[in-house]
Chain A
Amino acid sequence: MNPEPSQEASVAISAEPRAARAATPAVVMFVLLALAAYGSTYYLEQHSGGFKAQVAQPYPSVAFLKKYPPYGAADDPISAGKRVYETYCQICHQSTGLGLPGQFPPLAGSEWVVEGKPDRIIRIVLNGLSGPIEVKGVTYNGAMFAFKDMPLKDEDIANVLTYIRNTWGNKAPEVKPELVKAIRGEVSSRGLPWTSAELLKVPVE
């Protein structure tokens, strides 16, 4: 088909590089790659999370995550209380428990929180608080709304109060859900928030 290559053309052909044939190195490299690929399956077993979307580094598999379920899901009052606090209380009283000066009283180091019996603070949570209240020598004149109609169970209220009584340096006995239930029954007919004066009449020894 091609005409006899002219002198010019053969120069053109030979001016370009040629590739010699040597299959052995290619076979060696292919074997090397195959071995390395086999070895990489061990790496992938540990580090690819079973190719599931739910597995993030550094965990190896979904089965591993299920073997060690999230902590805090068990009955641990402080952690449970902390979660309630973060959902309902942190907005005002802050995650430091320091509140906001002039608006929301602190819970850290508050004498109201660490009383021997938690009757007063249970009432505050259930019905709310209005009017002036003195905490750590400072008077706050705000309002706290009632939580008794929120989707909070007795044990949630007990847990959050246990949490605030045992964090930020506070140390006080835990609050039992039965006590919350009893007090809820006592104040069920009360619609108004508490005032500081009324609360001070509730015994806490």
Chain B
Amino acid sequence: MNNALLIFLGMIAAFGASWCAMVGQTWRQLAAQQEVKIVGTEQRYPAPRGGLAERGAQVYRQEGCYYCHSQQVRASGYAFNLHLLKLPEPAAPGSEADKLTNEVIKAVLRVDPRRTVAEIRRALRSPPTTLAKLVDEERVANARKAFALAGADKALGVELVAVGPEIMRSLNTGWGGRETVALDYLHDDLVMPGSVRFGPDLANVGERKPLDTWHLAHLYAPASLASGSRMPPYPHLFKLQPEGARPTPGALRLGADAGIPKGYELVPTDHARALAAYLVSLQARANLFEARAPQSSAPQPDSGQ
């Protein structure tokens, strides 16, 4: 390897390969992505964020929020929920449909032997019930076989779900009902996935904390809203001004523990408002082909905060 020119040509080839594979191919694939319809609806996804929220993304960038907060919900793996769907109308005893019902009951008992016949009959008459949660692919295949034998493929609903400690199971755990995918950020000119979580993940914060007033209060005095929070306050995003005869529209109503002296009011600047609008717009929960949102009971967001 004494010929510097040959080494140089080799370097160009290596760089070209790396660029084409990592930059070029990614660019092509992402450029080809388009809006899709949310599964089962006519709604297009994703919706553009809107002017104030887009400005808010720039404020998020300028304040360096991504050094403490991430915006990526990650799944560790996947599993399946099995649901018993409703069959067509209950049939006269002895009819074909009734025989079908009996076959389905037998199939369900094979999948989940703990249920009783009466329970299964009740389940078949009312809206769907869950047969089994978080099972693996083998059990799904067995269940499908059992229901196919019974001639009732349509009665078995198979739901693919993502699993992992970050997938929301209840109000207080997890960061989102499903993992975030590229489609969630289709219209964004600025995507900041972050790399470390000293603060909560924000990919779905609009679902957990849907009120911009909460975010504004949190930016000014984080410790007053989240006990033990290590987030520094951002007073330069607000104006502390003496109260006039009437409160300024948009002034925040905060308690004494936020540190506002008597006779003063706190007015958020445009930057703060934009940032709050951006945070409220951060939601990634639509049910898509590539990212399945849970269809069973989903946790409800905080209300009234």
| Structural contact, B126 and A71, CB atoms closer than 8 A | no
Residue ranges of A at the interface with B (Cβ–Cβ < 8 Å): 53-59, 65, 68-80, 82-83, 87, 94-96, 98, 151, 162, 166, 174
- Are B290 and A54 in contact, CB atoms less than 8 angstroms apart? yes
A174 near B33 with CB under 8 A, answer no
Residues in A with CB closer than 8 Å to B126 are: 174
The 0/1 profile, CB within 8 Å of A marked 1, for residues 74-96 of chain B is 11111011010110000000000
Q: Is the CB–CB distance between A74 and B33 below 8 Å?
A: no
In Å, the complex CA distance between A89 and B53 comes to 23
Cα–Cα distance between A81 and B20 once the two chains are bound (Å): 46
Q: B159 in the interface, Cβ–Cβ < 8 Å?
A: yes
Q: Write 12 A-B pairs (CB below 8 A) sorted by A numbering.
A: A58-B78, A58-B162, A65-B290, A70-B160, A74-B157, A76-B85, A80-B40, A83-B38, A83-B40, A83-B41, A166-B127, A174-B126
| CB <8 Å contact, B127 and A56 | no
If A71-B295, A162-B127 touch, whether A151 touches B42 (CB-CB below 8 Å) is yes
Let me know if B127 and A74 touch, CB within 8 A.
no
CA distance A60 to B292 in the complex (A): 14
> Which secondary structure dominates chain B's binding surface?
loop
CB distance from A151 to the nearest CB of B (A): 7
Cβ of B300 < 8 Å from any Cβ of A? yes
Report whether B291 and A56 are in contact in the complex, using a CB–CB cutoff of 8 Å.
yes
Provide the bound-state CA to CA distance between A58 and B42, in Å.
Answer: 27
Interface contact B300-A96, CB-CB below 8 Å: yes
Nearest CB in chain B to that of A94: its residue: B303
CB of B191 within 8 A of chain A? no
- Report yes or no: B41 in contact with A87, Cβ–Cβ below 8 A: yes
Which residues of the other chain, A, contact B291 by a CB distance below 8 angstroms?
56
Cα separation A174 to B125 with both chains bound (whole Å):
10
| Residues of B246-305 whose CB lies within 8 A of A | 287-292, 295, 300-301, 303
Task: Return the contact of B303 from the options A53, A76, A98 (Cβ within 8 A).
Answer: A98
A57, B30: Cβ atoms closer than 8 Å: no
CA distance A135 to B58 in the complex (A): 44
Complex CA distance for A50 and B39, rounded to whole angstroms: 23
Q: Max chain B CB contacts within 10 Å: which of A54, A77, A96?
A: A54
Across the interface, do A70 and B157 meet the contact criterion of CB distance under 8 Å?
no
In the complex, A151→B42 CA distance in Å? 10
Asked if B134 is at the interface (CB within 8 A of a chain A CB), the reply is: no
Q: How far is the CA of A98 from the CA of B75 in the complex (A)?
A: 31
Q: Are A76 and B128 in contact, CB atoms less than 8 angstroms apart?
A: yes
Determine the chain B residues whose CB is within 8 A of the CB of A82 once the complex forms: 295
Looking at the complex, which one of B32, B76, B78, B287 makes contact with A59 (CB distance below 8 Å)?
A: B78
Given contacts A96-B300, A98-B303, contact A71 B181 (CB under 8 A): no
Q: Which residues of B contact A83 (CB under 8 A)?
A: 38, 40-41
Q: Are A96 and B303 in contact (CB under 8 A)?
A: yes
Contact between A78 and B127 (Cβ–Cβ < 8 Å)? yes
Closest-CB distance, A113 to chain B (whole angstroms) = 15
A75 to B155, CA, bound (A): 10
- Known contacts: A73-B40, A74-B85. The answer to whether A55 contacts B290 by CB under 8 A is yes
Q: In this assembly, does B158 line the interface, its C-beta being within 8 Å of a C-beta of chain A? A: yes
Contact of A74 with B162 in the complex, beta carbons under 8 Å: no
Cross-chain contact B157 with A76 (CB below 8 angstroms): yes
Instruction: Tell me the smallest distance from the CB of A167 to a CB of chain B, in Å.
Output: 8
Give Cα distance in the complex from A171 to B242, angstroms: 52
Asked whether A57 lies within 8 Å of B74 as measured between CB atoms, the reply is: yes
Known: A58-B78, A74-B85, A80-B40. A95 touches B301 (CB 8 A): yes
- For the complex formed, measure the closest distance between the CB of B195 and the CB atoms of chain A, giving whole angstroms: 16
Task: Give the Cβ gap from A1 to chain B, nearest Cβ, in Å.
Answer: 16
Q: Is the CB of B127 within 8 A of A70?
A: no
> B127 and A58: CB pair below 8 A?
no
Q: How many angstroms from the CA of A79 to the CA of B75 in the assembled complex?
A: 23
Nearest Cβ distance between residue B115 and chain A, in whole angstroms? 19
Contact B76 A58 (CB under 8 A): yes
Looking across the interface, which residue of chain B has its beta carbon closest to that of A168?
B300
| B295 and A72 form a contact (CB under 8 A) | yes
Most chain B C-beta atoms within 10 Å of own C-beta, residue among A54, A71, A96, A174: A71
In this complex, what residue of B is CB-closest to A81? Answer: B127
Give every chain B residue within 8 A of A162 (Cβ-Cβ). 127
Query: Is B201 in contact with chain A by the CB < 8 A criterion?
Result: no
A95 to B210 CA separation, bound complex (whole angstroms): 11
Q: Does B139 contact A (CB under 8 A)?
A: no
- Whether a CB of chain A sits under 8 angstroms from the CB of B5 is no
B residues 37-89 near A (Cβ < 8 Å) are 38-43, 74-78, 80-81, 83, 85-86
